[in-house]
Structure 1
Amino acid sequence: MPSDIANRHETFKSSQAALRLYHGTKHCCDITKISDFSKLCQNSGCGVCGIIRYGPRLSNGYVWFGPCSSISDGYTGARPVGIMDPSIQVLRAIFVMDVVSATGSHGAYIVPNGEAALPRFLIIYSY
Structure 2
Amino acid sequence: MTKKANQKHNAEKTVHDIRRATRRHYSAEEKIRIVLEGLRGEDSIAELCRREGLNTNVYYRWSKEFLEAGKKRLAGDTVREATSDEVKNLRAESATLKETLAELLMENRLLKKSVIGDGEDGI
Category of TM-score, reference length = shorter chain: under 0.3
Q: Which has the larger radius of gyration?
A: 2
TM-score (norm 1): 0.21
Greater strand content:
1
TM-score (norm 2): 0.21
